[in-house]
Amino acid sequence: MTETTLPEAQAGAVLDIDLGAIADNWRALRARHATGAVAGVVKANAYGLGAEKVVPALYRAGCRHFFTALLDEALAIRDLIPDAMLAVLNGLFPGTEAAYVARDIVPVLGSLAEIDAWAAIASTCGRRLPGIVHLDTGMARLGLSDAELAVLAADQTRLRALDLRFVMSHLVAAEEADNPLNETQRRRFALACGSLPPAPRSLANSSGIFLGAGWGSELARPGAALYGINPTPGRPNPMRPVVRLRARVLAVRDVAVGETVGYGATWHATRPSRIATAAVGYADGWHRSQSNRGTALFDGRPLPLVGRVSMDLATFNASDHPALCPGDWLDLIGPGRTPDDVAAAAGTNGYEVLTSLGRRFQRIYRCA
């Protein structure tokens, strides 16, 4: 019995991930970024979609530069991409240097202290070690401050131990094409690079690639756009959709006028209604903030989410869908309902929608 049971037969919700679309999106970004290479940012388990599947798909498409946030994430994928540059954005934690050296992982150095620690290891090893220097041009999270940059520019000997792969910075508001901060950061970055030894530069994230040719650098670092998030909000999405999420309808019931639905009784019927209960909840990353605000699709037509999202269940108003019955599947994310649409209903962004996608889903990976 069990060996003939389809995995879908047990699934409350099914997450389809189109690896071919991710590869196409990478190729489309590379075509747009004429001045240099295009990396794949695969931090947070490739934005929740599964680094062990996404990383080889990007590699097969031609990607040879990868970024994670943490060393652990890099170690987990190192063997999948033995000859690619693999860099860690969050910097060099004391005590982890040997692991970077052993697995040929490149630290993104965000302070003088990190540069000096890496240079010290290089002299112990007796060879130059690859590093990326991160300059803060306005984000005020990580990267050398202007004061630290001035110290580094005045005494560049500390860079001699490094094989300086890239100098990088990160844009604050690239998704707002006419935000003057973009130009301010571009100028600050160019000026800062001019005070350091010549090295390839890396500035643009997904949206930065769409700011224009003047934003060219030797390496772009897209994440979101690879996974189908719109890098040009307010304009049509140039990327292919990557994710489809469907949830099973477990029950359909009639609710009379005045009756309420869900915890806290936050929704009540103002006309005789049909309520469909689907197998997705906030434990699956279906944010509770979508209570009384979210939407699902059935046969391409919307059903409003009514009542509170609970841990394992969400309820939808199926009054306009007389044919809907238990065992049907509702589309939660797909071509007609993008991660950005879901984010708008949840009061967040597409990045948080994807990185929240739960572990209980039946995951199906589609190849090109």
Ligand X SMILES: *Cc1c(COP(=O)(O)O)cnc(C)c1O
Interacting residues toward ligand X by CB under 6 A:
41, 43, 89, 170, 205-206, 221-224
Residue 205 CB, nearest approach to ligand X (Å): 3
From the candidates 53, 100, 227, 263, give the one annotated as an active-site residue.
263
Residue 313 CB, nearest approach to ligand X (Å): 31
Beta strand pairing call for 106-109 and 85-88: parallel
CB nearer to ligand X: give 202 or 290: 202
Question: Using CB atoms, what's the residue nearest to ligand X?
Answer: 223
Please confirm, yes or no, whether 282 is among the known catalytic residues.
no
Residue 29 CB, nearest approach to ligand X (Å): 9
CB nearer to ligand X: give 43 or 274: 43
From the candidates 43, 47, 59, 351, give the one annotated as an active-site residue.
43
Residue 310 CB, nearest approach to ligand X (Å): 31
CB nearer to ligand X: give 30 or 43: 43
Distance CA 306, CA 289 (A): 12
Residues in contact with 193: Cβ distance below 8 Å, sequence separation at least 6, in sequence order? 135, 167, 199, 201
Spatial contact of 346 and 287, defined as CB atoms under 8 Å apart: yes
CB nearer to ligand X: give 110 or 130: 110
Please confirm, yes or no, whether 263 is among the known catalytic residues.
yes
CA atoms within 13 A on the CB side of 104: 10
For every residue of 226-263, DSSP letters joined together read: GGT--SSTTS---SPP-EEEEEEEEEEEEE-TT-EESG
Distance CA 253, CA 312 (A): 18
Distance CA 65, CA 40 (A): 6
Distance CA 217, CA 39 (A): 12
Active site residues per annotation: 43, 263
